[in-house]
Homo-oligomer: A and B are copies of this chain.
């Protein structure tokens, strides 16, 4: 969180970013509908008008929070690693990038994953999320056509299972916990692309610890 800055009146204050962080934490804890601007003001130790100085409405807070998650995910698709090279490697780069966005912008992605489409802002966010999913599905189809990804599973199911695995990370990942985000991304790729099974052909070494 940003360091509280001194306001014009000399009291410790919050910049726009810090207000957004506190709001997102409250939305995740109590639910968006149950969090009023009054509750936010109390949490921040600010007057409501001080919040309105930065955000025109609660919905603008939500919109900026969802943008933070969606801009991150969409940015992954625009990286060179997602645009150039064998499609299976591009798909891997997108999965790794999605895990990185999820872990580095955890509260924002958590909020995004709970959106159900009750307002225009939520529906716009869902539309962007669906467009992201379609881009990933298109990569899955391309990787099949390239011959690098198995062809016996419906690409929509593949995409859903992959993002089911990736998105579930918000349920338990904590930045201060023992799991390194980069290692976690590698683990997701290892499971998703290569699977957990050790094929019998590759276990040529006898396990000496079982003497």
> What is the bound-complex CA distance between A162 and B196, given in angstroms?
10
**Contact check: which of B164, B179, B196 meets A164 at CB < 8 Å?**
B164
Of A162, A190, A196, most buried by chain B (CB within 10 Å of CB) is: A196
Chain B nearest CB from A53 CB (Å) reads: 34
One of A4-12, A43-51, A57-65, A142-150 contacting the partner = A142-150
Residues 127-176 of A contacting B (Cβ, < 8 Å): 143, 147-150, 152-154, 157-158, 160-169, 171-172
Number of interface residues of A (CB under 8 A): 38
A188 (CB) vs chain B CBs: closest residue: B161
Of A160, A163, A169, A179, most buried by chain B (CB within 10 Å of CB) is: A160
Question: Given that A164-B167, A207-B147 are known contacts, is A88 also in contact with B197, CB under 8 Å in the complex?
Answer: yes
What B residues does A169 contact at CB under 8 A? Answer: 160, 164
> What is the bound-complex CA distance between A171 and B143, given in angstroms?
25
A193 interfacial contact with B, CB 8 Å: yes
What B residues does A15 contact at CB under 8 A? Answer: none
Are B187 and A197 in contact (CB-based, < 8 A)? Answer: no
What B residues does A160 contact at CB under 8 A? Answer: 168-169, 172
| Binary CB contact string for chain A from 174 to 211 against chain B (1 if under 8 A, 0 otherwise) | 00000100001001101111111110000100010000
> What is the bound-complex CA distance between A198 and B147, given in angstroms?
7
Chain B nearest CB from A39 CB (Å) reads: 18
What B residues does A194 contact at CB under 8 A? Answer: 150, 195, 197
Chain B nearest CB from A68 CB (Å) reads: 22
Which residues of chain A have a CB within 8 Å of any CB of chain B? Answer: 88, 143, 147-150, 152-154, 157-158, 160-169, 171-172, 179, 184, 187-188, 190-198, 203, 207
A-B contact pairs, 23 of them (CB 8 A): A143-B196, A147-B203, A148-B197, A149-B196, A149-B197, A150-B190, A150-B196, A150-B197, A152-B190, A153-B191, A153-B196, A154-B187, A157-B187, A160-B168, A160-B172, A161-B165, A161-B191, A164-B168, A167-B168, A168-B168, A192-B195, A193-B197, A194-B197
